[in-house]
Amino acid sequence: MLEYLKDNYWIILLILNYVIAISAVITVVLKNINPTKTLSYIIVLVFFPFFGLLVYYLFGQEYRKNKIFSRKHVLNQSIIKSINQELEFNKNQIRKIDDFLDHKLKLVKLLYSNKNSPLTLCNEVDILKNGKTKFEALLRDLNNAKNHIHLEYYIIKDDKIGSKVLDALCKKATQA
């Protein structure tokens, strides 16, 4: 048996390389990174034994990015925890809310038990039923803004509504 291992150690190393490479390929595929990167790493791992593993483990691992995101997750959790502690309701407040929102109690309890978005008082919600009323309200709010404007849109088109929004933002920027 020892003789067999001595004679075929390259084959054993090659098999070991491909076992590790297959686990690396599975990891790359499950990461959901750029398809071009994924394909490149798979090709390097399969067609360049030993060198492919070396390249993948030196350049394919995003150690810095993973470290940053793990720190950010810990920071986010601590911020959420501190906000929840500041805004935590006691039993008397829940009873007052129960009396105030008798038929909406299930919704209040659902919102209260959500750890990522704490339930607070003194909020106001407007239900906008169509795009026309939504953009009218947006333009009105933009024109009435005093300190800050926070917008998040995927696309602002160069059309009638988009031009109005951009004009309102430019007008507010010159007022500052």
* Proportion of the chain above pLDDT 70, given as a percent: 81
Give, in degrees to the nearest 5, the angle at Cα 94 between 91 and 99: 130
Kindly report the pTM of this predicted structure: 0.36
Longest pairwise C-alpha distance within the chain: 86
Tokens of 50: 């030993």
Q: 16-64 pLDDT, tens per residue?
A: 888 888 888 788 788 777 788 778 877 887 888 888 878 877 777 776 6
Name the more confident of 161 and 59: 161
Show me where the domains of the chain are located: 1-69, 75-115, 131-174
Q: Which stretches within 31-150 are classed as H helix?
A: 35-47, 51-55, 63-86, 91-100, 105-113, 131-144
Residue 115, both tokens = 């750890």
pLDDT of residue 102: 67
